[in-house]
Chains A and B, each alone.
Chain A
Amino acid sequence: MSIAAEPNELRDDVLNGLRLSTQLEKVWRTPSGWMGALMSVDHKVVGRRYIITAFVFLLLGGLLAVLMRIQLAGPEKTFLSADKYNQVFTMHGSTMMFLFAVPVMEAFAVYLVPLMVGTRNIAFPRLNAFSYWMFLFGGCFLWISFALNVGPDVGWFAYVPLSSLQFTPTKRPDVWAQMITFTEVAALAVSVEIVVTVFKLRAPGMTLDRIPLFVWAMLVTSFLVMFAMPSIMVASTSLILDRLVNTRFYDSSSGGHPLLWQHLFWFFGHPEVYIIFIPGTGMVSAILATFARRPVIGYPVVILSLIATGFLSFGLWVHHMFVTGLPQLGAALFTASSMLIAVPSGLQIFCWLATLWDGRPVYRTPLLFVIGFIVIFVLGGLSGVMVASVPIDTQVHDTYFVVAHFHYVLIGGAVFPLVGAVYYWFPKIAGRMLSERLGRWNFWLAFIGFNVAFFPMHILGLIGMPRRVYTYTADMDWAHLNLVSSGGALIFALSFALLLVNVVYSLRKGALAGDNPWDASTLEWATSSPPPPQNFDRIPVVKHRDPLWADSESLPVVAGLSAERREVLLTSLAEAEPQIREASPEPSIWPLLTAIATTVFFIGSIFTPWAVLWGTPPMAVTLIGWFWPSGSKEDEE
């Protein structure tokens, strides 16, 4: 195939081999030096930063978890004061949900989706860079506040009226509410990029039923983000307005209502769980196909399950509110709708089990984590069915049973696949293999540590231990199980230390990976490891769902894109037929400057309403700078 182009333009169909690679690299590479680093719009550079930053927040959030487990290891410990403990559990939840779980999934998507759909960069690369800076600044803002003892202390759910000015007159809830805004901006930006990348930048021939399952998962996740995030936006904006300019959205004495917060928060908060879990399932599908040595059975079933999960996830937020005194029949309906989500999740599990049954599994570390995922996640899903039942929930709500449940779902459903994904894609990103020996230790420490840490919490909840208590007395019979749980938490923490050691060691000493070390089937393995700035010398043409298994000799390619300037190929939505060549933005400093201006605006507004006034001009200037029409050289001639 060839695409019409302007005459006299240097195109990739007239160059070959090394000359083509060198020319494209020159066009697509990130400028050198620290200035270049700040300007980068390469999805791989941004994605790598995103992944590393999210993992740094994982370590910080994990450290807080260890602090909490030390405090709760025995009765009446004074390791943390009540005030510190409340800050610590709030920071743990906020960090893990807003700064780790969602961003890390998006980070993997930023890195992998363009490679997996066979294009040269993500759609809207400058927005992508902006999104990363916002995430970084929001995270730093939260953690610097914590270091300065103004870390939020009203829970990651920040229920009103506790988080209102009347009951928490400090700046702590303002910090929390504004941090939410940063992550909203970052998450929404990435989901827009992912949706457009998947819909318009797919390699020719990658029809809807040839899209890799991980990409499908990220597509569904992106839509979830787009529909769920506005709800928390409304919620957190109303909260900050109540606090800063004295509106009364949540004040029952002035016509507001505290339950408004909970409805808005959980209409976001429940889909949020699936925003974290669905990418995890995408990782599982990718890893499973490669290591079971066969495509996932029931490809359409898996996709329909993803979509069904996405829809259903919006219809069950009320199960977080069964004890707020809602009408009984309504609550019962939400029981049924919450339980129904077990059906698509179950169907996916059945498809994966069938794949394992028929596959010829190769037991490397990524597959171990997937097996651990199935064992843990199914248990978490089943306790979720219990929590969805109104009468059972009235006992277990806000107890350690729920803490156990959602750690089984989130760590089992997302972190185990994620660590598997690190082992699976590290060779692509770093060009070197992670140590398999350390990997096996890592898996077993994680699997055992996790279960020892979290299984006893089910029982603790049933024998009456509420959540979010910084201490308990010796006569409550909770001490033994808490000690066991804390021991397990330390083992679990150790497994992450081992992962860190493995990464640091393998970056220097790991075996060279080569293009496709696992003999996987998707397009990201069709280019070198790590991929060159242009991703592919020529855009691949996809004729099969598993292109590298179907055309193992050499992939068919399309030629005709410019080799003189950054260009990507747009294809049609359903059939992925080539449509037009589109310029892809050059590196730019403006996304960073805009993020700085936005940060000053948002943080300043906590301290003075005037920040809204003087914060606007810098934002306007930077946005104008960003969007100033800058035609390419060709246009000017």
Chain B
Amino acid sequence: MLCTIWPLTACAGRQSALDPQGLQSDQILHTLFIFLAVSAVVWTAVVIALCIGMMRRKRSADRPLDLHQAFEERSGRVILALGIATTAVVLGLSLVSYAGQHTVFAKNEKAHTLKIIGHQWWWEVRYEADSPHQSFVTANEIRIPTGQPVKVELESADVIHSFWVPSLTGKMDLIPGQKNELQFTAKNAGVYRGQCAEFCGLQHAHMAFAVIALPPDEFGRWRDHENQSANSPTDQLGKQGEALFRARGCALCHNISGTMAGGQLGPDLTHIGSRTTIAAGTLPNNSATLGAWIADPQHIKPGNLMPRMPLQSDEMIAIIHYLEQLK
């Protein structure tokens, strides 16, 4: 089994437990390899014993009850010994597991804290600080500093979801009426894909997100930028887009800070222009996908809460232009 899985660690998936980029995922993979090694030995031993048992030449006996009493007694002792060995292996692995668990779930009081709220089918990400000027909300994209512990507080707005970024650590559920938390540390800068792991309804398959780990100073700059309200459009088309955003009802569900748009139902769009994907990791973020999404969100992600908006093509162009410059 080991031989089949080792080469795979070479192919670095964007969402793979075999390609750890965090302290916790590293520890989990170590634990997994210990278990895999023991399992490989046990399985091989059983199959070899089975093969020997099948191929052994035996004295022929006429009747099945002409028992080999001696064999039975000897094998009884062997079975007992193997039973004790199994118990020892199992308890040993339990200790290995506990040691791994202890490291993975170690808590750091000074961790950067952010709150993640699961929705059908997108992620609300809140960076909350004591001063409201330091707090902001974003969606489906989480930026964290590298080398520093991060604590995510997990809540759900509707059904159970599960927060999972295999490259960084294992998953944790988001359960309505309960506050869970998870701590992890990204070792290297990079973009790590995460996905909801608990079945949460029709579009469970399309509930992904990105964790972007940045060097601490870059993270600080991003955070300062993100605290600011949205850019006001400077050109005519952008202004028209902003007006349409309100007039067509988009602002009822979406918030764009610093503007009249204050909806809380859908994702916050304050800096949508700087996000890499739209529709919770479903599509890359560009004018074509934005247009397709606004034109018919139910075609891309059937069942999501955003209704289809009847828009003229020039109105559509204005809105897309406005959204794209919200960086």
Contacts and interface: CB of A to CB of B under 8 A. Distances in A.
Most chain A CB within a 10 A radius of its CB, from B4, B91, B170: B170
A66 B199 CA distance: 21
B101 A459 contact: no
B190 to A, nearest CB: 15
B54 A459 contact: no
B34 to A, nearest CB: 10
A371 interface: yes
A549 B28 contact: no
B283 to A, nearest CB: 10
B100 A391 contact: yes
Contacts of A36: none
Contact of B199 (A159, A375, A390): A159
A394 B104 contact: yes
Contacts of A470: 205
B311 interface: no
> Top 7 nearest A-B pairs by Cβ distance?
A252-B177, A394-B170, A464-B15, A325-B180, A469-B205, A389-B97, A356-B53
A69 B4 CA distance: 23
B43 interface: yes
Contact of B169 (A253, A389, A392, A394): A394
Interface string A291-317: 001110110010000000000000000
Given A167-B159, A347-B83, A388-B97, 6 more contacts: A155-B199, A298-B79, A301-B76, A343-B90, A354-B78, A470-B205
A95 B42 CA distance: 33
B264 interface: no
20 contacts: A83-B303, A294-B68, A297-B72, A301-B79, A332-B94, A339-B90, A347-B79, A347-B86, A350-B82, A360-B60, A382-B39, A385-B90, A389-B93, A389-B96, A389-B100, A391-B101, A394-B172, A459-B8, A462-B17, A463-B15
Interface string A393-416: 111111100000000000000000
B200 A386 contact: no
Contacts of B162: 323, 398
Interface residues of A, number: 88
Interface in A78-124: 81-83, 86
A459 B5 contact: yes
Q: Most chain-A Cβ atoms within 10 A of its Cβ — which of B43, B78, B101?
A: B101
Given A325-B178, A392-B35, A470-B205, A476 B171 contact: no
Given A347-B83, A357-B52, A83 B302 contact: yes
A124 B32 CA distance: 50
B58 A359 contact: yes
Interface of A: 81-83, 86, 154-155, 159, 161-162, 167-168, 252-253, 257-259, 293-295, 297-298, 301, 323-325, 328, 331-332, 335-336, 339-340, 342-343, 346-347, 349-351, 353-354, 356-361, 371, 374-375, 378-379, 382-383, 385-386, 388-399, 459, 462-464, 466-472, 475-477, 519, 521, 546, 549-550, 552
Interface string B183-204: 0000000000101111111111
Given A353-B50, A354-B75, A359-B58, A343 B94 contact: no
Contact of B79 (A350, A389, A397, A521): A350
Contact of B302 (A82, A385, A388): A82
Contacts of A351: 79
A482 to B, nearest CB: 13
Contacts of B96: 389
A463 B82 contact: no
Q: Is the interface of A mostly helix, strand, loop or mixed?
A: helix
Contacts of B159: 159, 161-162, 167
Contacts of B75: 297-298, 354, 357-358
A531 B242 CA distance: 83
B205 A472 contact: yes
A457 to B, nearest CB: 13
Contacts of A294: 64-65, 67-68
A356 B82 contact: no
B5 A325 contact: no
Contact of A374 (B50, B175, B198, B202): B50
A340 B90 contact: yes
B54 A476 contact: no
A390 B65 contact: no
A581 to B, nearest CB: 33
A298 B302 contact: no
B238 interface: no
A468 B49 contact: no
B285 interface: no
Contacts of A336: 90-91, 94
Contacts of B8: 459, 462-463
Contacts of B64: 293-295, 519, 521, 546, 549
Nearest to B45: A378
B17 A395 contact: yes
Contacts of B68: 294, 358
Contacts of A385: 35, 39, 90, 93
B86 A361 contact: no
A323 B53 CA distance: 42
Contacts of B78: 350, 354
B17 A396 contact: yes
A357 B53 contact: yes
A325 B43 contact: no
Nearest to B47: A375
A332 B175 contact: no
Contacts of A356: 50, 53-54
A476 B13 contact: yes
Interface string B129-155: 000000000000000000000000010
Nearest to A521: B64
Contacts of B197: 323, 397-399, 466-467
A549 B67 CA distance: 12
B245 interface: no
A159 B159 CA distance: 9
Contacts of A253: 176-177
Contacts of A395: 17, 25, 28, 32, 166, 170-171
Contacts of A324: 173, 175, 180
Contact of B5 (A81, A155, A462, A466): A462
A437 B164 CA distance: 49
